[in-house]
Amino acid sequence: MTGMNVNGWPDVNTPSLSLRELVAPCFRRKTLLIRTFLAALGIVLLLGILVPVPYKSQMSVLVNRERHDPPVSTEDTTQMPSTSASEMSLAEITSEAQLLQSPDLLRKVVLATGLADSRTFSVWNLLHPFDTQEDKVARQVKQLAKDLKIENETNSNLIDVSYKSPDPRVSHAVLDSLATFYIEKHVAVHRPSGSFQFFADEAQRYQNALQESEGKLRDFGKQQGVAAPDVQRSYVAQQVAISVGQLNLAQQTVAADEQRINSDESQMALTPRRSTTQEASNPPDKLLGDLHASLLAAETRRTQLAMIYEPQYPSVQEADQEIAQTKAAIAEAEKVHYVAQTTDVDATYELLREDLAKTRSDLAAQRATAAEARRSIQNMQEQIVDLDQKTLTQQDLLRDAKANEESYLLYLSKREQERAADALDKTKIGNVSIAVPPSMPVLPLYSFPMVIGVAFGVAIILSLSAAYAADYLDTSFRTSAEVSEMLGVPIVVAIPKRSA
């Protein structure tokens, strides 16, 4: 403590500072102190009443490695679950934090939440009344980048994001839009762009190709009039084999019939057509009877002529001559014997003739059969060639349809895989996820009692600062120590100033 002299003033030779001296400026400047205190308290309370109370919305982004996206290919991909997630580096976490503050992402948030369309009073709007919508959007993007608070705790994979606004709905809408657009941007950055659209386009292209191939197959069956040319070709080839066998059989039969005909003709040439079945030897009785009748008639006529004429008469002589000739003929006839023979068709010859006729008929039939078989085989061979071409054409169409179907099913499967991956990526992709989604703030950031406390604190600090500052800037002597120090002479008596 500072020593006191006999007059009640502090001893100037004592260098230590007492509590009274320390608080003395407050008493000397109590008017300024009180006025400053009341003014600061009123101003802070007025600002606390006039300025809207902000509402703070928060969310947390977790950075991890729970998923691994394989390279895009047309092969079936099976993602193996990771047994352990490696630690995230600080650079990766910082990159995600910077991604949250990217201008294009904040621009989307501003447009989605309508921050640029706010009609609240602003000094900037008064100073720049002719700003375009783009200028307002750019200014709000810059302001949003400042208002967003992005922090990362040490040794943590969490990124804390907060935003304050007088309207709790705006605070929630800003962070909700930021989370949605951030996930979409993270998808665009970390996943191959356009993979789903590529597989969708390829699936549609092969679906159209498959429909076209199936249409060609239907038109092929209608135009060609054949449903299964390969089956019909096999059936026709089987019929050709049967017809060839029939042709060979017919040719063998023709050769056998020709040989049989030659054999029958040679045997018929050696075999008589008819043979004697009965033979009888008889005299010519009828001839002798006729000759005796002629002889009797000749003798009767001579007798009649002899009764009339002389033996030398020519008619009598003619009758005698006739009688003599008749007798001579009777004598010759009695010497002759007739042989009666009965003949019939030879049985061997008849068998050979019938066999020859039958063989010739069979030969004609077999030759006709062989000729028709040749024509039929030729037609069927031409049909086989035509069916071969149709089979090749149909196989090409079937192969194209099969290939298009397999490609369509493959790309359809890959499209659905990408659709599922995109659906999952909307909430969690690669190495980030919204661990704590933004919630609607219910309570303001600070209450009115807090405003009063802050106002008292600010008023006290400002009033004390003003009092000490005014006392420091005052050039008049306030204590005997200051007089002794400034004049360099000891003080015998000090009379303090007293107010009237």
3 state SS of 490: coil
Total-model pTM: 0.42
Handedness of CA 473, 479, 485, 486 (dihedral sign): positive
* 181: in domain: yes
Which H helix or E strand runs over 420? Answer: helix 347-425
Most confident of the following: 263-272, 289-298, 331-340: 263-272
* 118: in domain: yes
Q: What tokens appear for 126 in the block?
A: 């008064």
CA distances from 142 to 48, 137, 279, 459, 461 (A): 26, 9, 153, 34, 34
The shares of helix, strand and coil residues in the chain, as percent rounded to the nearest 5, are 65, 10, 25
Q: What angle do CA 162, 165, 170 make, to 5 degrees?
A: 90
* 421: in domain: yes
Give the per-residue pLDDT at 5.
47
- pLDDT more than 70, % of the chain: 73
* 66: in domain: yes
CA distances from 106 to 49, 70, 119, 177, 335 (A): 31, 30, 20, 9, 162
* 122: in domain: yes
Count of helix runs (H) and strand runs (E) in the chain: 14, 7
* 438: in domain: yes
Handedness of CA 478, 480, 485, 491 (dihedral sign): positive
* 447: in domain: yes
Which H helix or E strand runs over 275? Answer: strand 274-282
Domain that includes residue 56, residue range: 19-197+417-482
Q: What is the mean pLDDT of residues 417-423?
A: 74
The residue among 128 and 240 whose pLDDT is bigger is 240
Tally the domains of the chain.
1
pLDDT digits (tens, 9 = 90+) for 430-453: 567 777 788 887 677 666 677 678
Residue type (1 letter), 444: P
Give the per-residue pLDDT at 147.
84
Q: Are 157 and 63 in contact (CB under 8 A)?
A: yes
Handedness of CA 440, 442, 444, 450 (dihedral sign): negative
The phi, psi pair for 4, rounded to 5°, reads: -110, 140
pLDDT digits (tens, 9 = 90+) for 461-496: 888 888 788 777 766 666 667 667 777 777 767 666
Out of 130-139, 205-214, 408-417, which region has the weakest mean confidence (pLDDT)? 130-139
- Terminal CA-to-CA distance of the chain, rounded, Å? 31
DSSP state string for 31-44: HHHHHHHHHHHHHH
